[in-house]
Amino acid sequence: MTRYLRLIRIFTGATLSAQLEYRANFFGAVLASLGEVGVALLGIAVLFGQPGTAAVGGWSFHQALLVVGLFMLTEGFISVFVQPNLTKIAEAVRTGSMDFTLLKPIDAQFGVSTRYLNMLRVTDLLIGAGLTVSAASHLPVTPGGVLTAALLYLSALVMVYCIWLALSTTAFWFVKTQNVSELFSGVFGAARFPVTAFPVPVRAFLTFVVPIAFITTVPAQALTGTLSPALAVASPLVAAALFGLTRLFWLKAVASYTSASS
């Protein structure tokens, strides 16, 4: 375990030095983060900007803001930790550099998942955390609510990672998979709104088919004390099940790896 932590530290050091080589990139990344949060805020501004609108689908302005905050935080998590690593799987399979990952005496899934960081998008994380905290400060939250929300949000991050990994792992068979990650981003966009604000069929789809509800809505509900116990229990279970399934899927993919020609 300490060995893996040490590896993460070394990987982080190497990837940070590589990114410092390209400074101009940083400003572009900050602008992208600001644009992202602007669009998310505009979404709820349109809804709550109507005169006399105090709540949408049972969500007050600050509750909805909380969801936006968690959405940005998750976006940040994806951009900083998940995307820079997992999008490289397809490229590594196509060029054959996956060979080197598989030749190393460390778990290959760990290797492909932790090798890189995109520190340029750390602002997403900061904005997301800021929005979440400031929205929560306008709401009556209990310490128990915060703890539950934190645990459920952790499950949410596990789910996000698993879905990304499963989609990226298809590269072992299909080789080019950019469109698959586009698919994720497209569906994930729905997470910036509280899922319970959607019509019932959409809500069911976003809970049971693609577990978007668990990512932002469920932790937000836990924080505001409006979460049903069933969903609270379901979230970590879904996360654990997804983790197990993607692990199997990954192992299967590695077994059928054909390696690009020499």
Decide if 235 contacts 155 (C-beta within 8 A): yes
The C-alpha atoms of residue 80 and residue 84 are separated, in whole angstroms, by 7
Kindly state the smallest distance separating residue 257's Cβ from other proteins, in Å: 7
Q: Does 146 bind other proteins (CB under 8 A)?
A: no
Q: How far, in Å, CA of 212 to CA of 195, rounded?
A: 8
Query: Are 72 and 127 contacting, i.e. CB atoms less than 8 angstroms apart?
Result: yes
Exactly one of 21, 24, 186, 230 binds other proteins (CB under 8 A); which one?
21
Tokens 């979440």 locate to 132
- Cα 140 from Cα 223, distance rounded (Å): 9
228 binds other proteins, rule: CB under 8 A: no
Taking CB under 8 A as the binding criterion, the range among 52-60, 71-79, 206-214, 250-258 that sits at the site for other proteins is 250-258
Query: How many CA atoms lie less than 13 Å away from 253 in the CB half-sphere?
Result: 24
Shortest separation between residue 24's beta carbon and other proteins, angstroms: 14
Considering only the C-alpha atoms of the chain, give the largest distance between any 2 of them, rounded to a whole number of Å: 67
Q: Which stretch binds other proteins (CB under 8 A): 35-43, 53-61, 102-110, 162-170?
A: 102-110
Asked if 2 is part of the footprint of other proteins (rule: CB under 8 A), the reply reads no
Nearest by Cα to 257 from 71, 130, 112, 52: 112
What string of DSSP letters covers 45-75? Answer: HHHHTSTT--EETTEEHHHHHHHHHHHHHHH
247 lies in the site for other proteins, by CB under 8 A: no
Q: Which one of 27, 31, 42, 100 is in contact with other proteins (CB under 8 A)?
A: 100
Q: Does 3 bind other proteins (CB under 8 A)?
A: yes
Find the binder of other proteins among 1, 24, 230, 255 (CB under 8 A).
255
Which residues, listed in sequence order, are joined to residue 55 by a DSSP beta bridge? Answer: 60
Look up residue 210 and give its DSSP letter: S
The reply to whether 11 sits near other proteins by the rule CB under 8 A is yes
Q: Which stretch binds other proteins (CB under 8 A): 10-18, 74-82, 145-153, 227-235?
A: 10-18
Binders of other proteins: how many residues, by CB under 8 A? 27
Choose which of 31, 104, 142, 144 interacts with other proteins (CB under 8 A): 104
Binding site for other proteins (CB under 8 A): 3, 6-7, 10-11, 14, 17-18, 21-22, 95-97, 99-100, 102-106, 255-259, 261-262
